[in-house]
């Protein structure tokens, strides 16, 4: 029997379980091992997810331990304290950094040699820390980054212009997955037209759209206490690209090694993802004001990282 591609999931909360469900719906044959300190809930979710597999392919779902990472292709980390109403993602960093340290090293010590995919917040900081802790090459550590924010931008544009979201292309959010994120509209198109050609969107309208994206996560948290469906699908798309060598371009927490004048940190920018992780980091052409916004995001990340030393 052909060996299935293997994913371990650490963290079976709202994001983790939503990711597991999405992965099984979009990959017909995968082995998914779920790890969480809440053994009872994890087993309940495993049994529930196993019921999905006859209708989606030949996947295997089971509960496991860090030792299961030995021959895994991907380690997905969603574990952490969730963001509370009124709390920023950066407020979480000390709590979740300690949790991350207790996860990454057992995975590495198991002999794991796959890719880390991180969604725990603050994701850019925790992705950077994961790379430092693991000692893995930068391309094998990826964070969800601004993939969710870029999806939100497409939604906001579609709602504003009353078009199908599938008609919005190349609209990206860059920088921190957090308060210093910013949208770049230069390459964005709607119904095949550049945004600059659409009279309904002047500079003030674009600024309002960016602010709507920035506040969208907090709005969801205020209404239902958590966001999980969107980021779960972002995780699925990243993992599917790695498992199938799709070589898709996605805005993720990617390692900057000179792009945008930055080095040594992960920030949101488009990257090509396939087997082995990040195959190429794409540096978008930014106007001077956007370049400064990227620098602001980088400065904020460094302030947080220095505080951990």
Give the number of C-alpha atoms closer than 13 A to the C-alpha of residue 293, restricted to the C-beta side.
Answer: 20
pLDDT (tens place) for every residue of the chain, 309 residues total: 457 999 999 999 999 999 999 999 999 999 999 999 999 999 999 999 999 999 999 999 999 999 999 999 999 999 987 766 676 656 677 778 888 989 999 999 999 999 999 999 889 999 999 999 999 999 999 999 999 999 999 999 999 999 999 999 999 999 999 889 999 998 899 999 998 888 678 889 999 999 999 999 999 999 998 899 999 999 999 999 999 999 999 999 999 999 999 999 999 999 999 999 999 999 999 999 999 999 999 999 898 888 766
- Is the Cβ–Cβ distance between 246 and 240 less than 8 Å? yes
**Total tally of structural domains belonging to the chain:** 1
In a domain, 120, yes or no: yes
Q: Helix-strand-coil percent breakdown of the chain, rounded to 5?
A: 50, 20, 30
Contacts of residue 278, defined as CB under 8 A and 6 or more positions apart, other chains included, come to 138, 139, 140, 142, 252, 254, 255, 271, 272
In a domain, 54, yes or no: yes
Give the pLDDT of residue 89.
56
The dihedrals phi and psi of 306, each to the nearest 5 degrees, come to -65, -35
Copy the structure tokens of residue 270: 């488009």
Is residue 80 situated within a structural domain?
yes
- Token pair recorded at residue 56: 């989606």
| Residue 177 appears among annotated catalytic residues | yes
CATH number for position 118: 3.40.50.720
What is the pLDDT at residue 263?
94
**Of 303, 220, 291, 285, nearest in space to 262 by CA:** 291
pTM attached to this predicted model = 0.94
pLDDT reported for residue 307: 72
Answer whether residue 130 is part of any domain: yes
* Structural domain boundaries, residue 127: 5-143
Q: Which residue, 147, 143, 190, 200, is CA-closest to 167?
A: 190
| Residue 114: predicted pLDDT | 98
Angle at Cα 59 formed by Cα 55 and Cα 62, nearest 5°? Answer: 115
Task: List, as one string, the DSSP characters of 126-137.
Answer: HHHHHHHHH---
Find the catalytic residue in 6, 152, 177, 237. 177
- Asked, for residue 235, whether it belongs to a domain, the answer is no
Residue 239 belongs to some domain of the structure: no
Burial of 98 (0-12, 13-18, 19+ CB in 10 A): exposed
């Amino acid at each position: 029997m052909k060996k299935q591609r293997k994913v371990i999931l650490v963290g079976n909360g709202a994001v983790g379980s939503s990711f597991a469900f999405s992965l099984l719906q979009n990959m017909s044959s995968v082995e998914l091992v779920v790890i969480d300190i809440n053994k009872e809930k994890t087993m309940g979710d495993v049994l529930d997810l196993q019921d999905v597999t006859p209708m989606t392919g030949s996947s295997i779902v089971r509960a496991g331990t860090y030792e299961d990472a030995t021959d895994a292709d991907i380690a997905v980390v969603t574990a952490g304290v969730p963001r509370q109403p009124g709390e920023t993602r950066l407020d979480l960093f000390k709590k979740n950094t300690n949790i991350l340290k207790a996860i990454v090293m057992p995975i590495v010590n198991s002999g794991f040699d796959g890719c880390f995919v991180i969604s725990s917040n603050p994701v850019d900081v925790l992705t950077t820390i994961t790379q430092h802790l693991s000692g893995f090459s930068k391309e094998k550590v990826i964070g969800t980054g601004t993939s969710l924010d870029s999806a939100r931008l497409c939604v906001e544009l579609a709602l504003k212009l009353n078009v199908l979201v599938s008609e919005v292309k190349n609209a990206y959010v860059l920088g921190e997955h957090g308060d210093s994120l910013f949208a770049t509209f230069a390459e964005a198109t709607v119904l095949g037209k550049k945004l600059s050609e659409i009279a309904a969107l002047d500079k003030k309208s674009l600024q309002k759209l960016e602010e709507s994206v920035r506040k969208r996560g907090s709005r969801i948290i205020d209404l239902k206490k958590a966001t999980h469906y969107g980021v779960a699908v972002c995780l699925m798309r990243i993992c599917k690209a790695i498992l199938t060598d799709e070589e898709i371009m996605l805005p993720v927490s990617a390692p900057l090694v000179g792009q945008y004048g930055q080095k040594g940190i992960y920030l949101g920018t488009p990257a090509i993802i396939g087997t082995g992780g990040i195959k190429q980091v794409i540096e978008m052409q930014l106007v001077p004001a956007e370049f400064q916004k990227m620098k602001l995001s980088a400065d904020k990340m460094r302030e947080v990282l220095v505080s951990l030393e």
